[in-house]
Amino acid sequence: MSKSERLKAEIGFHEKLFFSSMALIMALIGWGASNYQTVSEWILLGAALGLLFSIGFGVWNYRQIQKLLEALEDAK
Decide if 25 contacts 51 (C-beta within 8 A).
Answer: yes
Position 28 scores a pLDDT of 96
Position 51 scores a pLDDT of 97
Q: Where are the domains of the chain?
A: 12-75
Query: Would you list the DSSP string of 12-66?
Result: HHHHHHHHHHHHHHHHHHHHHHHHTTTS-HHHHHHHHHHHHHHHHHHHHHHHHHH
Q: What is the pLDDT along the chain (76 residues), one digit of tens a residue?
A: 788 899 999 999 999 999 999 999 999 999 999 999 999 999 999 999 999 999 999 999 999 999 999 999 988 6
Position 74 scores a pLDDT of 86
Position 76 scores a pLDDT of 66
